[in-house]
């Protein structure tokens, strides 16, 4: 494809900067042509061609990346091809007995789950970008879905891969675990298109759960909420979703609630009064937690009771199914809000990280202060909220949303100030540059701090080995 629209569409992801530049018409750095291969052999041929003629290749999945992984700005004046994987979108085989499936990587989330349906299985991977992202993109960026507490991140699901590199095709075998030297799968997962094109993946899948149940709880504050969800994670009770909003995010999520009328309004008002006066909840500081449970009726009952016991010990009050179900209905819609806000000169973005349990609250406070100070430094009014959306045995993710009202002409500079503040805080606070959004160009300045300069050297060595001419997505992840 060489139409202007397709070339532009394939030259940007959905990062704050991408959106800003497209809206501002700053279209310097656009791919020259979009190619949609129909087989692995076509990818191999394309890579050979690209090496011979010194053409740069940017693998393209759904285009939803927010870390600059798709940026077509190149230092070297070489032609650039966007390699859109959309035609390689088939589930090749499902091994129901082993609960595994081999899939081409250009498949979008909804299409993948639809192809799995006749087999009664699911991947269980539902990132916010689900509708607009592909399997290949998930694997290339170490994506996390909202049900990661049970199903793991994408790297926990991959059993085998086929990766086309300029030096040949890497092929690994579908085995549950191995001791065959350095883990070759993990060396390709998270490579962000810089080593090669991930063409096929064998994944572990799960039977569709018999039943699901959402439950919401209200905690007096973020501290007691964190303590409660940590207990649940440490006890291995394992709801599929555990999500805890801080006070700011909780207020926002209640503000998005549909207005009630009649009897419902009266009941709701009564419940609110009882929360305030009987449960002594300060409704300005309370925090909403939601859980999703899956399994047989019996399994759900067991898990639900265990969670309820722990949450009550930490002062949690059950809100029933409402908050979770309303979250589920709108779960993929939230990102679109950003565009609506942009029209009103309210600029919003997110940064997320992960850390050990003992560091969750200190890091939360550090990041909050850093973000607020940075927004203040820009002279704008702003808002900062945070939620925990992925919990593990040893720690959890922290997901910050920040927005500011900016009438100045320095929006991008102000963004840089704020974005740098939060990423610097992640580093100073002993956390990682991202839990699931990748490195790309946006987070590259923090990579050496995160994985050490020798770690970066190792990745550079890998790239020099597999892509000696530097044609694969140059400038992303590493220089």
Of residues 82, 122, 172, 242, which one binds a copy of itself by CB under 8 A? 172
Of residues 44, 123, 144, 244, which one binds a copy of itself by CB under 8 A? 144
Q: Is 346 in the site for a copy of itself (CB under 8 A)?
A: no
Q: What is the DSSP letter of 61?
A: S
Residue number, 159 or 375, with CB nearest to a copy of itself: 159
Q: Nearest approach, Cβ of 3 to a copy of itself (angstroms)?
A: 32
User: What whole-number distance in Å separates Cα of residue 80 and Cα of residue 473?
Assistant: 9
Q: Nearest approach, Cβ of 158 to a copy of itself (angstroms)?
A: 11
Q: Is 479 in the site for a copy of itself (CB under 8 A)?
A: no
Q: Is 457 in the site for a copy of itself (CB under 8 A)?
A: yes
Q: Nearest approach, Cβ of 173 to a copy of itself (angstroms)?
A: 6
Residue number, 166 or 323, with CB nearest to a copy of itself: 166
Q: Nearest approach, Cβ of 454 to a copy of itself (angstroms)?
A: 4
Of residues 8, 30, 86, 234, which one binds a copy of itself by CB under 8 A? 234
Q: Is 395 in the site for a copy of itself (CB under 8 A)?
A: yes
Binding mask 34-73 for a copy of itself (x = CB under 8 A): ----------------------------------------
Q: Nearest approach, Cβ of 169 to a copy of itself (angstroms)?
A: 6
Asked whether 321 and 214 are in contact (CB, 8 A), the reply is yes
CA distances in angstroms from 70 to 195, 324, 423, listed in the order given: 14, 34, 20
| 305 CB-contact burial (10 Å; exposed 0-12 / middle 13-18 / buried 19+) | exposed
Of residues 380, 402, 436, 471, which one binds a copy of itself by CB under 8 A? 436
User: What whole-number distance in Å separates Cα of residue 128 and Cα of residue 473?
Assistant: 24
Question: How many angstroms separate the most distant Cα atoms in the chain?
Answer: 74
Q: Is 121 in the site for a copy of itself (CB under 8 A)?
A: no
Q: What is the DSSP letter of 108?
A: B
- State in Å, rounded, how far the first CA of the chain is from the last one: 28
Helix (H, G, I), strand (E, B) or coil at 164: strand
Q: Is 120 in the site for a copy of itself (CB under 8 A)?
A: no
Asked whether 404 and 378 are in contact (CB, 8 A), the reply is yes
Phi first, then psi, for residue 329 (nearest 5°) are -60, -40
Among residues 433, 418, 415, 429, which one has the least CA distance to residue 366?
429
Residue number, 188 or 215, with CB nearest to a copy of itself: 188
Sites for a copy of itself among residues 293-332 (CB under 8 A): 302
- Token pair 């609506």 in the structure block, residue: 340
Helices 357-377 + 411-428 axis angle, to 10: 150
| 108 belongs to the catalytic site | no
Residue number, 87 or 173, with CB nearest to a copy of itself: 173
Binding mask 173-212 for a copy of itself (x = CB under 8 A): xxxxxxxxxxxx-xxxxxxx--x--------x-xx-----
Asked whether 288 and 257 are in contact (CB, 8 A), the reply is no
Within 10 Å of residue 357's Cβ, how many Cβ atoms?
Answer: 19
Q: Nearest approach, Cβ of 438 to a copy of itself (angstroms)?
A: 5
Residue number, 104 or 165, with CB nearest to a copy of itself: 165
Determine the size of the site formed for a copy of itself (CB under 8 A): 88
Q: Taking CA 77 as the corner, what is the angle to CA 72 and CA 83, rounded to the nearest 5 degrees? A: 40
Of residues 105, 143, 253, 291, which one binds a copy of itself by CB under 8 A? 143
Q: Is 159 in the site for a copy of itself (CB under 8 A)?
A: yes
Q: Is 273 in the site for a copy of itself (CB under 8 A)?
A: no
Of residues 251, 354, 367, 375, which one binds a copy of itself by CB under 8 A? 354
Asked whether 110 and 332 are in contact (CB, 8 A), the reply is no
Binding mask 84-113 for a copy of itself (x = CB under 8 A): -----------x-xxxx-------------
Asked whether 12 and 22 are in contact (CB, 8 A), the reply is yes
Give the tokens for residue 444: 């590259």
Q: Is 459 in the site for a copy of itself (CB under 8 A)?
A: yes
Q: Is 477 in the site for a copy of itself (CB under 8 A)?
A: yes
User: What whole-number distance in Å separates Cα of residue 420 and Cα of residue 377?
Assistant: 12
Which residues are tagged catalytic?
Answer: 399
């Amino acid at each position: 494809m060489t139409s202007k629209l397709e070339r532009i569409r394939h030259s940007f992801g959905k990062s704050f900067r991408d959106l800003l530049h497209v809206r501002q018409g700053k279209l310097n750095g656009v791919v020259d042509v979009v190619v949609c291969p129909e087989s692995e052999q076509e990818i191999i041929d394309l890579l050979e061609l690209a090496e011979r003629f010194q053409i740069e290749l940017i693998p393209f999945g759904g285009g939803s990346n927010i870390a600059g992984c798709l940026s077509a700005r190149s230092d070297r004046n070489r032609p650039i091809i966007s390699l859109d994987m959309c035609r390689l979108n088939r589930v090749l085989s499902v091994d129901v007995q082993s609960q595994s499936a081999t899939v081409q990587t250009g498949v979008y989330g909804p299409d993948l789950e639809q192809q799995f349906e006749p087999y009664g299985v699911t991947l269980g991977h539902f990132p916010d970008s689900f509708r607009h992202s592909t399997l290949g993109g998930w694997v290339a960026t170490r994506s996390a879905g909202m049900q990661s507490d049970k199903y793991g991140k994408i790297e926990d699901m991959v059993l085998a891969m086929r990766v086309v590199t300029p030096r040949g095709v890497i092929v690994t075998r579908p085995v549950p675990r191995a001791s065959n030297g350095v883990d070759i799968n993990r060396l390709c997962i998270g490579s962000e298109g810089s080593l090669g094109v991930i063409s096929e993946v064998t994944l572990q899948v799960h039977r569709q759960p018999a039943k699901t149940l959402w439950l919401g709880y209200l905690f007096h504050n973020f501290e007691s909420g964190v303590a409660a969800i940590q207990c649940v994670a440490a006890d291995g009770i394992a709801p599929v979703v555990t999500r805890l909003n801080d006070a700011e995010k909780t207020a926002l999520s209640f503000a998005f609630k549909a207005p009630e009328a009649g009897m419902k309004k009266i009941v709701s008002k009564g419940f609110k009064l009882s929360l305030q006066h009987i449960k002594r909840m300060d409704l300005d500081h309370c925090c909403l937690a939601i859980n999703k449970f899956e399994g047989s009726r019996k399994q759900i009952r067991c898990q639900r009771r265990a969670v309820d016991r722990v949450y009550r010990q930490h002062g949690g009050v059950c809100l029933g199914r409402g908050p979770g179900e309303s979250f589920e209905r709108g779960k993929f819609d939230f990102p679109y809000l950003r565009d609506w806000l942009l029209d009103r000169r309210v600029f919003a973005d997110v940064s997320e990280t992960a850390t050990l349990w003992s560091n969750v609250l200190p890091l939360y406070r550090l990041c909050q202060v850093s973000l607020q100070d940075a927004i203040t430094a820009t002279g704008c009014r702003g808002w900062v909220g945070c939620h925990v959306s992925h919990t593990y045995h040893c720690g959890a993710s922290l997901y910050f949303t920040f927005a500011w009202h900016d009438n100045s002409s320095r929006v991008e500079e102000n963004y840089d100030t704020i974005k740098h503040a939060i990423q610097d805080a992640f580093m100073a606070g002993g956390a990682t540059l991202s839990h699931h959004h990748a490195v790309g160009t946006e987070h590259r300045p923090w990579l050496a701090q995160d994985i050490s300069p020798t770690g970066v050297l190792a990745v550079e060595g890998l790239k020099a080995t597999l892509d000696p001419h530097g044609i694969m997505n140059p400038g992303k992840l590493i220089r």
